[in-house]
């Protein structure tokens, strides 16, 4: 019994089908994100009294206490224990302003440093303290947050630890990922609501944004979906490779 070789025609049609599926997925995901962003912007109702964000006041000149009425009310501590201290998986770099290329950070917490990730002195939510750690305020630029740095677990006080800095949201999400690892109840609660790790990390990092949004104070750029994300990039690259291989196959007669 002999094996029948698979013809080049089969490979071409399989490649064409794969490219079509990838293009449909890309268009579907892009369309869904565009619709989400449109609805998010359309539903935003600015407060009658313009907020500092609406007035375009620079972050370092903004009186953040005006947002206190918008923040969640005090919450009782849960019956189960929390692990509040984690080792940061990345070097967290804080800047005095949103940096240009080559700008040196004003403050760094090195990778491997043990920090107090959950606010141990918070009177409200055990997971959030407005303006501390990962519970940051949105800035005017996507991906950059405005917050006071994490405290060190060894009791050492960082210089200007009460000062606000700019920090990348990805650095904060990395810390949130560690918080989830040592407090699995957080992820379990999220999964019961249909969430996943990335959703939980984003929700924690934009915790204040949602409150500011619903009170008409700020339409944070970090609430919008990235229309062409890395998955769309991967799928586009894969489709491009398949098309290139089909063109080469036609020239070589395969």
Is position 123 within any domain? yes
The pLDDT value recorded for residue 102 is 76
Instruction: Count the domains in the chain.
Output: 2
Say whether both 196 and 80 belong to one domain.
yes
The model carries a pTM of 0.81
Is position 49 within any domain? no
Tens digit of pLDDT for each residue in 180-235?
Answer: 999 888 877 777 766 788 888 999 999 999 999 999 999 999 999 887 677 777 77
The model's confidence at residue 4, banded by pLDDT at 50, 70 and 90, is: very low
Domain that holds residue 13: 1-44+222-254
Say whether both 227 and 132 belong to one domain.
no
DSSP 110-157: -TT-EEE-S-TT-SS-TT--TTBTT-PEE-SSTTEEEEBPPEETTSPP
Short-list 131, 135, 89, CA closest to 110: 89
* Mean pLDDT over each residue of the chain, to the nearest integer: 83
Say whether both 160 and 253 belong to one domain.
no
Q: Tell me which DSSP letter residue 92 carries.
A: E
Q: Which two tokens stand for residue 22?
A: 């990838």
């Amino acid at each position: 019994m002999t094996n029948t070789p698979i013809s080049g025609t089969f490979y071409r049609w399989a490649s064409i089908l794969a490219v079509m599926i990838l293009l449909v997925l890309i268009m579907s995901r892009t369309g869904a994100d565009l619709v989400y962003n449109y609805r998010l912007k359309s539903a935003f109702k600015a407060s009658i009294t313009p907020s500092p964000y609406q007035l375009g006041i620079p972050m370092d000149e903004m009186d953040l206490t005006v947002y206190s009425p918008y923040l969640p009310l005090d919450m009782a501590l849960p019956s189960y224990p929390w692990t509040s201290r984690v080792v940061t998986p990345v070097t967290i770099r804080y800047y005095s302003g949103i940096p240009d290329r080559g700008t040196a950070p004003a403050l760094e917490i090195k990778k491997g440093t043990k920090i107090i990730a959950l606010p141990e002195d918070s009177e409200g939510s055990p997971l959030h303290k407005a303006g501390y750690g990962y519970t940051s305020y949105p800035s005017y630029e996507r991906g950059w947050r405005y917050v006071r740095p994490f405290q060190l677990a060894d009791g050492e006080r960082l210089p200007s630890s009460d000062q606000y800095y700019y920090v990348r949201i990805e650095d904060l999400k990395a810390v949130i990922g560690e918080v989830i690892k040592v407090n699995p109840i957080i992820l379990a609660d999220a999964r019961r609501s249909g969430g996943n790790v990335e959703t939980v990390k984003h929700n924690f990092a934009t915790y204040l944004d949602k409150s500011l949004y619903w009170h008409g104070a700020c339409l944070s750029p970090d609430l919008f979906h990235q229309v062409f994300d890395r998955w769309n990039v991967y799928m586009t690259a894969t489709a491009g490779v398949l098309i290139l291989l089909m063109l080469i196959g036609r020239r070589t007669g395969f």
